Structure 1
Amino acid sequence: MMDYEMFKDVVREKLMSLMPDELAGYSLRADRTGKVNETLDAFHLVPPDCLPDKLYPTVYLNHVYEEYKKSGDLQGTLELTAFYMAGACREAERKNSRINLQGAPESIVMSLVNTQQNREMLGYMPHREFEDLSIIYRYVIDTGNPVESVPVTVEMAERIGMGEEELFHAAVENTRRFFPPTTEPLKDVIVEMFMDGGFSEEAAREMGNAIQTPIYCISNKMSINGAVSMLYGDVIHGLAERLGSDLYILPLSVHEVMAVPTEGVEPKELAELVEKNNMSRIRLSERLSNQVYRYDSKQQTLLLATDTPNKRLDGNGTTHDRTDGKKQSR
């Protein structure tokens, strides 16, 4: 079985020969592409008149190589990849026909990613840092199920004439309109976290039943990129007032966070549960942070409550300095 570098060269050499005739004249463009929480080797299928604001099919060689290792069938892997790319090309054409950059201000929304884990991706995306996280922006094509959207790059932002400040203010309004925030009581999640931490189901449920502290999930009605809802002051302050307490915020994923009153719990112990949840239950692309945040209801501030050394989300235990939450990138 060939190694990864050789496999990448073979794909580059042979993939286009397996494409349908309708894609004659297209070419493969290789680069390193930042995805949430990881950077991957990518081949993009682009036409001769490649334009910067268009979508083009992309295949991630790291993922294709994993499939090749499972099957051991090089030709089958190449043919399946070509089939996927051809279909993705037709889908990209459909999406491109629906992108209207003139109406972009009404379609910009925001989500949260981990700053340190996504330094490379953030290098070409307008963003705004908040503690150890960053707000990024997406252009929504369709709010159906599934939601279709594309990330806003620096290049796209320039083409639609919006700076980071304008993107932020548009996104705050649009995100609430497209994806209304929600706060719901949550109990079973903590039981699953205890089970993933090594407890038996019976013991985990006993501990879950013994927890008298109310637990709430903050997300949105679509349960997609809902962790950003924790930044809405009225949402988190309303929950704190309802519970009569400051709150610890536990990032369960990019899609939701969990809020618990601060009395009787230690943030460091909560951070340990968050890390176990990330590493055992959450896909890398959906992990948000290994830290815990505290909402001070008197000061109406949301800040990091922990500074544990395990800041990376991919299992590489490197440490980084905390951000101050005030930096912006344009």
Structure 2
Amino acid sequence: MEFNQFVDEVKGGIKLFLPREYEEAQVRIEEMRKLNENYLGISILKEDQVLAPTFNLNQMYEMYQSDPQITMESILRNITDMVLDAPEQFDLKSITEYENAKDKLFIRVSSAEKNAEMLQNVPHQITEDLAITYHLAISIDDVGMSSTTITNDILKRYGISEEQLHADAMENSPHIRPIHVMIMGNIIEQLMGMDPETIMRDEPAQNIAEIISKGMENEAPMFIITNSQTVGGAGVIFYPEVMDQIGEGFQGDFFILPSSTHETLVIPDNGVFDYRVLEDMVQTINENEVAPEEQLSDHVYHYDVKDRVFERADKFVERQKEKAAQIGKTEHTGKEQNIEHPKPKKHAMEL
């Protein structure tokens, strides 16, 4: 069965499996543009509903094609279960009026290059090759979180600036998706694919420096920085003061490895690793271990504690070279300066 025929059958058959209250419901099929992926989605809205969750038809079609035991009936029953399990209709004012919505704001981080088309329609900030975008948490439960992306149209409706949106999202993100720091085993073992040894979990954000400091007692430690759901957690590295607290724990600079959109890894810049070796490892893992839609970047980043600068590791190295060259030039220029002593004045009369 071709994909278009699959979509038509799902759209035409879904109401046969839904309760009677959905007889007059509207079945929508629309293209969805999300971070790192685009897909065709289906949503079912009852007459009294304004918003409803959207389900990924491309994903369902792949399951239908790959597993002979999955029938069209099982697909339709699965969609029905998801529709009925979705949260009840919420107060629309909670997301359309900014004073109510801002407490639900949080950030995500993704590849700026892979999401270039989507970024044209959403407010964002670019940091190196990463894009920070803004989202609203619609509901949070034991299963997960439903959310929506802040678009340019929504921002216009709110009547605020991008700077205000960014500031509020940064302030609120740690409450919506709290940071979690986990200590892993030896770096080499982990990067070679061996099982990590998780030593600490569920540590509150204010203890980041203490967690890092304790973890430094291990040989060549690596730390996972993510959120409490361990989903879409790469953005927590940009939460206020997080990098400074990590640096305090390391007592110096550190490297940031983009493990995936779900987490980043941090290790001290203590002279043990060359960033190029780490970058090769990240690229290899992206190619072999990380799904394309979850890849964040092939680059390794660096945080300069003294200058408080987050940048690509190669740019940090170049910046240090420029600094050293400037210092050398200044010292050389100082040595080359000739000190001229004042000549003795001639007296008007000679004896």
TM-score by length of 1: 0.74
In structure 1, what is the equivalent of residue 32 of structure 2? 33
Taking only the aligned residue pairs, the percentage that are identical comes to 25
d(CA) in 2 for partners of 1:50 and 1:221? 31
Note if contact 2:170-2:240 (Cα within 8 Å) is conserved in structure 1: no
d(CA) in 2 for partners of 1:4 and 1:275? 33
| Secondary structure of 2:260's aligned partner | coil
The 1:48/1:190 distance shift into structure 2, 3 A limit, reads farther
- Pick aligned residue for 2:276 from 264, 268, 272: 268
Code of the residue aligned with 2:311 in structure 1: it is L
d(CA) in 1 for partners of 2:73 and 2:62? 15
d(CA) in 1 for partners of 2:158 and 2:84? 25
| Secondary structure of 1:94's aligned partner | coil
d(CA) in 2 for partners of 1:123 and 1:80? 38
In structure 1, what is the equivalent of residue 310 of structure 2? 302
In structure 2, what is the equivalent of residue 237 of structure 1? 244
Deviations 1:196-241 (Å, cap 9, x if unpaired)?
8xxxx9xxxxxxxxx9433222234443433222224632223224
| Secondary structure of 2:115's aligned partner | helix
d(CA) in 1 for partners of 2:309 and 2:288? 31
Q: Once the 2 structures are TM-superposed, how far is the Cα of residue 300 of structure 1 from its aligned partner?
A: 1.0
Structure 2: gaps (5+ residues): 196-217, 316-351
C-alpha RMSD of the superposition: 3.0
The 1:146/1:286 distance shift into structure 2, 3 A limit, reads farther
Code of the residue aligned with 2:117 in structure 1: it is E
Q: Once the 2 structures are TM-superposed, how far is the Cα of residue 150 of structure 1 from its aligned partner?
A: 1.0
In structure 1, what is the equivalent of residue 209 of structure 2? none
d(CA) in 1 for partners of 2:47 and 2:161? 30
Q: Once the 2 structures are TM-superposed, how far is the Cα of residue 148 of structure 1 from its aligned partner?
A: 2.1
In structure 2, what is the equivalent of residue 178 of structure 1? 176
d(CA) in 2 for partners of 1:188 and 1:64? 39
In structure 2, what is the equivalent of residue 315 of structure 1? none
1:90 maps to 2:84: yes
Note if contact 2:13-2:76 (Cα within 8 Å) is conserved in structure 1: no
d(CA) in 2 for partners of 1:260 and 1:107? 32
| Aligned counterparts, 1:100-139, within 5 A | 100-101=94-95, 102=97, 103-139=100-136
1:228 maps to 2:235: yes
Q: Once the 2 structures are TM-superposed, how far is the Cα of residue 164 of structure 1 from its aligned partner?
A: 2.5
In structure 2, what is the equivalent of residue 69 of structure 1? 65
The 1:301/1:284 distance shift into structure 2, 3 A limit, reads same
d(CA) in 2 for partners of 1:47 and 1:94? 11
Q: Once the 2 structures are TM-superposed, how far is the Cα of residue 190 of structure 1 from its aligned partner?
A: 4.8
In structure 1, what is the equivalent of residue 42 of structure 2? 43
d(CA) in 1 for partners of 2:87 and 2:306? 51
| Secondary structure of 1:298's aligned partner | coil
Code of the residue aligned with 1:65 in structure 2: it is Y
d(CA) in 1 for partners of 2:102 and 2:66? 44
| Secondary structure of 2:262's aligned partner | coil
The 1:247/1:98 distance shift into structure 2, 3 A limit, reads same
Note if contact 1:252-1:258 (Cα within 8 Å) is conserved in structure 2: yes
Please tell me whether Structure 1 or Structure 2 has the larger radius of gyration of its CA atoms. 2
d(CA) in 2 for partners of 1:100 and 1:11? 32
Code of the residue aligned with 1:218 in structure 2: it is I
Select the structure with the greater relative contact order (CA < 8 A; seq sep ≥ 6): 1
Deviations 1:250-296 (Å, cap 9, x if unpaired)?
01122321112232322222122223333443344433222111112
The 1:268/1:95 distance shift into structure 2, 3 A limit, reads farther
Note if contact 2:279-2:300 (Cα within 8 Å) is conserved in structure 1: yes
1:252 maps to 2:235: no
Q: Once the 2 structures are TM-superposed, how far is the Cα of residue 32 of structure 1 from its aligned partner?
A: 1.9
Note if contact 2:253-2:303 (Cα within 8 Å) is conserved in structure 1: yes
Code of the residue aligned with 2:164 in structure 1: it is E
Note if contact 1:33-1:121 (Cα within 8 Å) is conserved in structure 2: no
Code of the residue aligned with 1:79 in structure 2: it is E
Deviations 1:87-119 (Å, cap 9, x if unpaired)?
333344515358723411111111111112223
Note if contact 1:111-1:228 (Cα within 8 Å) is conserved in structure 2: yes
Note if contact 1:247-1:260 (Cα within 8 Å) is conserved in structure 2: yes
The 1:126/1:78 distance shift into structure 2, 3 A limit, reads farther
Note if contact 1:193-1:276 (Cα within 8 Å) is conserved in structure 2: no
d(CA) in 1 for partners of 2:101 and 2:116? 25
